[in-house]
Structure 1
Amino acid sequence: MVWLFAIATGLIVANLYYAQTLIGPISKATGLDPGAAGLIVTLTQIGYVLGLLFIVPLGDLLENRRLIFIALLTTALALLAASITGSARLFLFAALCIGIGSVAAQIVVPFAAHLSRPETRGKTVGKVMSGLLMGIMLARPVASLVTDAFGWHAIFVLSALTTAGLAFVLRAKLPLRRPEGGMHYFALLASMWHLLKTTPILRRRAAYQACMFGAFSVFWTCVSLELTGPYFGISQSGVAIFALVGVTGALVSPIAGHRADQGKSRSTTLVALTLGALAFALPLLVHSSRLVDLGLLVLASIILDMGVSANLVTGQRAIFALPAEVRSRLNGLYMALFFMGGAIGSSLGGWMFAAHGWTGVLWTGLAFPLIALCIFATE
């Protein structure tokens, strides 16, 4: 079941990131202005935040398997719409809907935590989140490779078919999970504000991850534009290989989860936030030949993904240690808050790249983990 959860979350959340390395070709095909290209990623993340706030809480109210099934079919339809449109407005609307439907992944994660024993919950969540992070990171190289071979439309068609197939597999394999409920939907939503006010660990962990995910989005929204630009001149296949190397950063997730189970969350958080800052400081401080600069970018991508992965799992371990009857709402709030950071990062990144180039992007990215370290200093 852990393997199924890990693969499912990876496949679902990958839908948010296929467009990240394809901003250039999608913008040209739909006539989107280069300065607004970051909207492709930003609107997907905004859709995800809306889903986290208004759909994921239903995991504490409705039967979970049916909720996952409906969300996945919605995502498949939005992906199909994105693949056939030539209009910028319609593509951006489809991107918003892809984000909303992809919150099925965040109904699956509390499902896994619910089925786990308390003493191994962090390790289980770490394994499932490894699948989710592998999905995020593999989405970029897969999208680049498929685009090089068949055009950018193909990845959205392929993903629509995969997501629809996954919906039926999960409906067949997942056990029924019917929460106790006893609360109306609007009362459920109102309770989220109360949970946010009365759960300081949620606010703190969400602030850390919002900064880390903002940095992550700044980097990965713009790095493909830099790599395919005049200085590096790399093809989409080269971008795919670059992104594939960054996937190794996700391997730290189970280690971070295990350390959190041992009560070492604070030291793990400090290391994760420091790695986030280091990822942007390295290419800013060291300038050399084209090959060395490319090597530094590869190293920065691995370090950044390690920091983001470790911090995410450590945060979720803390959230899932809280009462089971509010777990879906807490997870929804946690993910929504840090995805807001991601949306800010992707929109800022696109604008900074257009206005100030790659150096402006690196300084913007560095600001996010530095803010998180300042917050951490008050812990």
Structure 2
Amino acid sequence: MTEPGGSSTTEPTIGRGLVLLLAVTCGVLVANLYYAQPLLDTIARSFDIEEGTAGILVTTAQIGYAIGLAFLVPLGDLIERRRLIVTAALICAVADGIAVVSPGFPMLAAALVLAGVGASAAMVIVPLASALAAEEDRGRTVGTVMSGLLTGILLARTVSGFLSELGGWRLVYGVAAVAIALLAVVLRKYVPVSTPVVTDTYRGILGSILTLVRELRELRLRMALGALLMAAFSVLWTGLAFLLAAPPFSYGDAVIGLFGIAGVAGALMAPIAGRMTDKGHGRRATTLCLTILLASWALLFLGSGSSAVSAVVVLIVGIMALDLGTQGAHISNQNVVFVLDPPARNRLNTAYMVSYFGGGVLGSVAASVSYSVGGWAVLCLTGAAISLAALAIWLLGRSASSGSVVRSDHVHG
């Protein structure tokens, strides 16, 4: 059974192969939001446009994803999930195909908006994995699927840089289109059918999300933090391609993409924050991660002045620190959000993730503008200001939210 407006009913039935399939699908779908980041300089030259204009591509993909989170993901409570996931994946594949043949920048930007909408199916897959898993395996199953999603985000830059070096930026989206289309076929074959059981309308479900935001102070705090976290994350990864393509580095797309591996290394340490929350130290974990995030911008600035090995090492450590801070705080946020009102987890996730990726859109815009105005130094100042704002809001807001209703004593740590 499900609560009104809740999850579809499914019999727990999920093996390791299906878990892996869902994890890979999440990663490949969400990677569409980040393929463009190491390619911005190449795309700018391809269409003879300014670098700042090319940076809009990252923003457009995230706008599409935010639209999907707000309006497509809630459909998972109303219609059969497998059909929704497969349809959205095919939309993403078609959009990537349009990107391949785009004759001009406006069509490419529009294609990436559509790809972002389709990619939001990843947020339908996560609750589906939870519903399919047995109670004793649910946490591990969801963790594995989320790991696939995060790996896709971070390795997207490496893959796109490598493919661009092989055959140009259009090859990146061609390979993505084929991969997603194949995954859609496999999903159609192996994902079990779910039967939606709801007592509300689509409009009612959307309205209940706004009610949750209005009533839960802790949710609003975590949404604000999530937006700032993703903004800081996007400032770095949108601007990094410009820094590394210019002197003194002058790296090609493949080398620029390799810096995504540094992000993976940092993010793989982030689940420590989740374990701290499980042990009752959620607030401490958030404070620690936000402090690391703020400090990372000093390293990112110091490592940008030279192509010497020592400077590059400092830059890489800064990237690792930023991804550790952002992803660690993000995991801590999700652990808190999901226990605010357990029967409304899907809607809580929609509210949080819309805010999260909305922040990513603003961060991408801020990166393009700040880099155009004053280069890497101004970009780092922008990122540091966003990170400082996140830490300040957290330190001021956590005491104010201590009296809000949270249905789990361990959340506050």
Normalising to structure 1: TM-score of the pair? 0.94
Pairs within 5 Å for 1:227-266: 227-266=244-283
Q: Could you list the per-position Cα deviations for residues 285-331 of structure 1 after superposition, in whole angstroms to 9, with x for gaps in the alignment?
A: 67875323222111111111111221222222223335555322221
Pairs within 5 Å for 1:1-379: 1-116=18-133, 123-284=140-301, 289-291=306-308, 292-323=310-341, 325-377=343-395, 378-379=397-398
How many angstroms apart in 2 are the aligned matches of 1:336 and 1:296?
33
How many angstroms apart in 1 are the aligned matches of 2:141 and 2:218?
20
Letter in 1 for 2:22: F
Q: In 1, are the aligned partners of 2:32 and 2:61 still within 8 Å (CA)?
A: no
How many angstroms apart in 2 are the aligned matches of 1:293 and 1:79?
37
CA 1:87–1:286 in structure 2 vs 1: closer, same or farther (change >3 Å)? closer
Q: In 1, are the aligned partners of 2:302 and 2:314 still within 8 Å (CA)?
A: no
CA 1:109–1:140 in structure 2 vs 1: closer, same or farther (change >3 Å)? same
For structure 1, the 5+ residue unaligned runs are none
Q: In 1, are the aligned partners of 2:303 and 2:312 still within 8 Å (CA)?
A: no
How many angstroms apart in 2 are the aligned matches of 1:282 and 1:19?
25
Q: Could you list the per-position Cα deviations for residues 236-256 of structure 1 after superposition, in whole angstroms to 9, with x for gaps in the alignment?
A: 222122222221122124433
For structure 2, the 5+ residue unaligned runs are 1-17, 399-413
Match of 2:13 in 1: none
Letter in 2 for 1:302: M
SS in 2 for 1:215: helix
Letter in 2 for 1:374: A
Cα distance, 1:141 vs structure 2: 0.8
Q: In 1, are the aligned partners of 2:270 and 2:325 still within 8 Å (CA)?
A: no
Letter in 2 for 1:5: L
Cα distance, 1:131 vs structure 2: 1.4
How many angstroms apart in 1 are the aligned matches of 2:140 and 2:263?
22
CA 1:280–1:13 in structure 2 vs 1: closer, same or farther (change >3 Å)? same
How many angstroms apart in 2 are the aligned matches of 1:71 and 1:277?
37
Cα distance, 1:215 vs structure 2: 0.6
Q: Which has the higher contact order (CA 8 A, sep 6+)?
A: 1
How many angstroms apart in 1 are the aligned matches of 2:140 and 2:388?
28
Q: Could you list the per-position Cα deviations for residues 337-365 of structure 1 after superposition, in whole angstroms to 9, with x for gaps in the alignment?
A: 01111111111101111110000010001
How many angstroms apart in 1 are the aligned matches of 2:285 and 2:143?
13
Cα distance, 1:179 vs structure 2: 3.4
CA 1:117–1:279 in structure 2 vs 1: closer, same or farther (change >3 Å)? farther
SS in 1 for 2:179: helix
CA 1:314–1:6 in structure 2 vs 1: closer, same or farther (change >3 Å)? farther
Q: In 2, are the aligned partners of 1:245 and 1:298 still within 8 Å (CA)?
A: yes
Comparing 297-306 with 239-248, greater Cα deviation is found at 239-248
CA 1:97–1:286 in structure 2 vs 1: closer, same or farther (change >3 Å)? closer
Normalising to structure 2: TM-score of the pair? 0.86
Q: Could you list the per-position Cα deviations for residues 69-116 of structure 1 after superposition, in whole angstroms to 9, with x for gaps in the alignment?
A: 111000000000001112111111001101111000111112233345
Q: What root-mean-square deviation, in Å, do the aligned CA atoms of Structure 1 and Structure 2 show?
A: 2.0
Cα distance, 1:225 vs structure 2: 0.8
More helix per residue: 1
SS in 2 for 1:290: coil
The number of residue pairs the alignment matches comes to 379
